[in-house]
Amino acid sequence: MGALRLSPVAVMFKHVAATVIVLATGFCTMFFSSDHPIEYIRRWQDDYTRFRRDLHAHPELGFEEHRTAQRISERLTALGIEHHTGIGKTGMVAVIRGREASPHSMGLRADMDALPMQEESSRPHASTVPGRMHGCGHDGHATMLLACAHYLQETRRFAGTAYLIFQPAEEGRGGGKAMLADGLFERFPVERIFALHNWPGLPVGKVAVHSGPVMAACDYVTIDIEGCGGHGAHPHLTVDPVLVAGHIITAVQSIVSRNISPFDHAVVSLCGMQAGNMDAKNVVPRTARLVGTVRTFHAETQEWIEARLRELVVSVASGFGAKATLRYDRIDPATINDAQQARFAARVAAQLLGEENVVHDLEPSMGAEDFSYMLQKKPGAYLRLGQGGSGERHGLFLHNSRYDFNDEVIPYGAGLLAGLVEAGLPLVSGIRDQKI
Ligand code: NI
C-alpha cells in the first residue's frame, strides 16, 4: 500500500497551516493559561491595589473588623466562593474545591486587624479613623488571601479542598484562639496550614522560611509594689515604692544575662512604670506599677524566666520592707515551623521565585504571632515575604507610624499561597490546563 501522495502546493499549504496552528496554540497557552500563579494574579494588580488601599483607609481593631469582613465577603460572593462568616466573632472561612475530588485539604490563613495607633502620613489612602492604623500590613495579608481565592476559584488546578481563613484580632486580642474555640478545625478539617507576613528589609520577590522557631512566645508581666507613702522631705518615715521599682528594674536584667544559656534567646523588657503624681513633687507614693514583656522560644526557658522573675520581684521588695506581686500572662506561644512543611514551602517558593530568592536563614523574630495556636494543632509553616528594603516607605519596620504595605508584593504573596495549594494538593490527572 502506497502512502497518500500530496501535490507540492498541498504540502506547502500543510506546513504553513501547521506552523500557524503551533504559533497560535503557543500564544494561547502563554496568554490564557499561564501556569504561573504570580504572573496570572499580576493581571489584577490595579484592582487588588485599590481593594487594599480601601482597607488601609478604614482600619478596624481586633474583633471589630465588620466592614473589612463585609468587603471580603462581598468579593467572595461575587466570585461564587462558598464562605462562612462569624467564626471567632468577625472571622471568616472560604471553601474552594479543586477540579478533582480528593480527601486531602490545606489551610491558608491571613489576619485582618489594625493597630490602636495614629498614622502619620499624607498619602491619599491614609487612615480615615483617628488612633487606628494598618501599621502591620494585615490589610495587605487579607488582600493577598482574597486574590489567592480569586485565582484558585478561577483555575481550580488542584485536587481536594482549600480552606482560606480570614482571621480577626491577631494583635494581642486572641483572634486565632477564638477561631479555634469556635471549632475552626472541626468544621474545616485542614491537614496542614500556612500563613505569611510581609517583612520590611527583605527585598520584594524574596521569601524567607525555615524549620523550627520563627516567632517568639509573648508573655506580659505586671508588677505591683506596695510601700508606705509619706512626705518627700521625711523619707525615713516611708517605704518608697519608686526606689523598690528601680531596684527591681535593675535586678530583672540579670535574668537573661545570668540565668539563660548564651546559646538560647530571650528578652525581658520592662516597658512602663507608673507611680506618684507628676504634680506632687514632694509626695512619696504608696504604690508603683511596672509592666513589661518576656519573649522566649522554648517552654523550659519561659518557665525558668517566670520563676526567676517571681523570686526576684518578691525578694527585692521584701528586702526594702515593701510587698510586691507579679502577674504573669501568657499571650501567644512561640511560632514553630514543622520541618517537613517548611521544606515543602521552600521548595514551592523556589519553583515560583527561583532558588536564589528563597532565604533559608533569616533570623527568627522576637515578635509574636498568634498563628502559633494553629501550628500547635496542625503541621505547617509561617513564611516571611519581602516587602522591600529601600526607600523610607517600604523600608520602615512594622508598627512604625509611617509604615505602609507595599502593593507591588500582592501578586507574590497571593501567587505563593496559591502555589502551595497547587503543589500540596496536586491533580491526579496531571492535566492542569483543561477548562481554562
Ligand atoms: Ni502583623
Closest CA to 374 of 194, 141, 142: 194
- Give the distance (Å) from ligand 1 centre to CA of residue 168: 11
Distance of alpha carbon 208 from alpha carbon 382, whole angstroms: 9
Q: Average pLDDT of the chain?
A: 92
Q: Is 54 within 8 Å of 34 (Cβ atoms)?
A: no
Indicate whether 317 pLDDT > 50: yes
Query: Which of the four pLDDT bands, split at 50, 70 and 90, describes residue 436?
Result: very low
Burial class (CB in 10 A: 0-12, 13-18, 19+), 322: buried
Q: Is residue 195 classed as helix, strand or coil in its secondary structure?
A: strand
Amino acid at the residue 42: R
pLDDT band, very low/low/confident/very high, at 35 (cuts 50, 70, 90): confident
Q: What pLDDT is stored for residue 5 in this prediction?
A: 45
Kind of pairing, strands 335-337 and 212-215?
antiparallel
Catalytic residue among 139, 170, 338, 422: 170
Give the angle 9-12-18 at the CA atoms, nearest 5°: 140
Rounded distance from Cα 109 to ligand 1 centre (Å)? 12
What's the CA-to-centroid distance between 155 and ligand 1, angstroms?
Answer: 29
pLDDT at position 1 is 38
The residue-averaged pLDDT of 308-330 equals 98
Q: What is the pLDDT of residues 90-99, one digit of tens each?
A: 999 999 999 9
**Distant-in-sequence, close-in-space partners of 85: CB < 8 Å, separation ≥ 6:** 69, 73, 91, 92
In the reported structure, the alpha carbon of residue 136 is separated from the centroid of ligand 1 by a whole-number distance in angstroms of 5
pLDDT attached to residue 337: 98
Q: What is the model's pLDDT at position 141?
A: 98
How many whole angstroms from 137 Cα to the centroid of ligand 1? 6
Q: Is 113 a catalytic residue?
A: yes
Residues in Cβ contact with 143 at an 8 Å cutoff, skipping those fewer than 6 apart = 48, 51, 52, 55, 410
Q: How far is the CA of 61 from the centre of ligand 1 (A)?
A: 12
pTM (2 d.p.): 0.86
> Ligand 1 centroid vs 399 CA: distance in angstroms?
8
Of the residues 111, 113, 306, 369, which is catalytic? 113
Ligand 1 centroid from CA 185, angstroms? 22
pLDDT at 390: 60
Report angle CA 408, 413, 418 to the nearest 5 degrees. 135
What is the grid cell recorded at 306?
A: 517566670
Q: How many residues does the chain have?
A: 436
Q: Of 218, 207, 219, which is closest to residue 328 (Cα–Cα)?
A: 219
433 is catalytic: no
Who contacts 48 (Cβ-Cβ below 8 Å, separation ≥6)? 41, 143, 144, 146, 147, 407, 410, 414
- 393 CA to centre of ligand 1 in angstroms: 17
Type of residue at 180: L
Mean pLDDT of the 121-130 span: 96
Work out the percent of the chain whose per-residue pLDDT is above 90.
88
Please give the grid coordinates belonging to residue 143. Answer: 488582600
Distance from the CA of 101 to the center of ligand 1, in angstroms?
Answer: 35
